[in-house]
Amino acid sequence: MSDLGSEELEEEGEKYLGEYEGERNEAGERHGHGKARLPNGDTYEGKYEHGKRHGQGTYKFKSGARYIGEYVKNKKHGRGTFIYPDGSRYEGEWADDLRHGHGVYCYINNDSYTGEWFAHQRHGQGTYFYAETGSKYVGTWVNGQQKGTAELIHLNHRYQGKFLNKNPVGPGKYVFDIGCEQHGEYRLTDVERGEEDEEETLVTVVPKWKVTKITELALWTPPRPQEQPAADGPSQGEAPGAEGGGEPAEEVQPLTDDMSEGELDSVHPGEEEGDASREDGEEFPYDSLDQGNVSFEEEEARQPELLD
């Protein structure tokens, strides 16, 4: 069962709705503020409208989980916080009982995801922080998977490129804090893992890093006043504005689309247990499997040593 829990048992019209104490309208429906205890032991305290939870309220599950937030016609809708039995929690936007919009999910191992959600899954722009290593993935997500242009930031270096099915693909670069960049490309290779039967062979896709060149960091430096053209060149005050007044060395460099669609299509991502799949048959989606979305150790194993 999902984190909807047993809320659906509290529909008007059922033969037994448990206990209720609170306001009602002229038609006898629960309307206004009230407290209810469901037959299974769950409780709700908050606003009702025409017999349905509507407005701000707190729903406590007998398992120890609870939701504090907004309801619309018996469904979590708006802003709210869901605290799961294992101690993990989600705080953000909801739509039709699903995590939807912007929100923050804190996991039991202190990892966290901050970003956009769509239909209960990470989808859009977001940042996943790995508490154990201090690394973080900053980029796009599609249906719970890391996919698209992103930056994987470690303590003393970072990788900028594209990701597909949690793996880096195509051209990219490593930026090292010592003052150099290593450019290259992740090429996908098929590795045979074993035979499932006589006809099918289980194959996994492994990205392999190939270095093309090593360069210094491309830092922008303002021109000297005497080097500027006297007549039609930009004024001294205009030069910093062209760069936005920021720090170019710290910005995420956009990657070119050198990799064709055919190369992307050659990757066949395997199925992964996402948020939605874990909820089927379970009472609450603990999202415990999200903790290893892109392990730092796996990424370190894929990273090349800095050449002399």
Give the separation between CA 301 and CA 258, rounded to whole angstroms. 25
- 212 exposed, middle or buried (CB, 10 Å; 0-12, 13-18, 19+)? exposed
Class of domain 14-85: mainly beta
Structure tokens at 276: 């939605």
Give the separation between CA 293 and CA 125, rounded to whole angstroms. 16
For residues 96-128, one letter each, b for 16 or more C-beta atoms within 10 angstroms of the residue's C-beta and e for the rest, the string is ebbbbeebbbbbeeebbbbbbbbebbbbeebbb
The position carrying tokens 């407005």 is 55
Structure tokens at 6: 């047993």
Report CA torsion sign: 255, 257, 258, 261: positive
Provide the strand spans (E) within 131-179: 136-142, 145-153, 157-164, 167-176
Q: How many residues does the chain have?
A: 308
φ and ψ at residue 292, rounded to 5 degrees? -110, 35
Q: What is the largest CA-CA distance in the chain?
A: 88
For residues 253-288, one letter each, b for 16 or more C-beta atoms within 10 angstroms of the residue's C-beta and e for the rest, the string is bebeeebeeeeeeeeeeeeeebbeebbeeebbbbbe
Q: Which pLDDT value is given to residue 83? A: 97
Q: Are 191 and 214 in contact (CB under 8 A)?
A: no
φ and ψ at residue 178, rounded to 5 degrees? -75, -10
Q: Which pLDDT value is given to residue 158? A: 95
Amino acid, res. 255: L
Q: Are 123 and 148 in contact (CB under 8 A)?
A: no
Q: Which pLDDT value is given to residue 219? A: 57
Within a 10 A sphere around the Cβ of 210, how many other Cβ atoms? 9
pLDDT tens series, the chain, 308 aa: 334 445 554 444 446 668 999 999 999 999 999 999 999 899 999 999 999 999 999 999 999 999 999 999 999 999 999 999 999 999 999 999 999 999 999 999 999 999 999 999 999 999 999 999 999 999 999 999 999 999 999 999 999 999 988 889 999 999 999 889 999 999 877 664 444 444 555 566 788 899 988 888 765 566 666 554 444 444 443 333 333 333 333 333 333 333 333 333 333 333 333 333 333 333 333 333 344 444 434 444 444 444 33
What global pTM score does this model have? 0.64
How wide is the angle at C-alpha 246 spanned by C-alphas 243 and 250, nearest 5°? Answer: 110
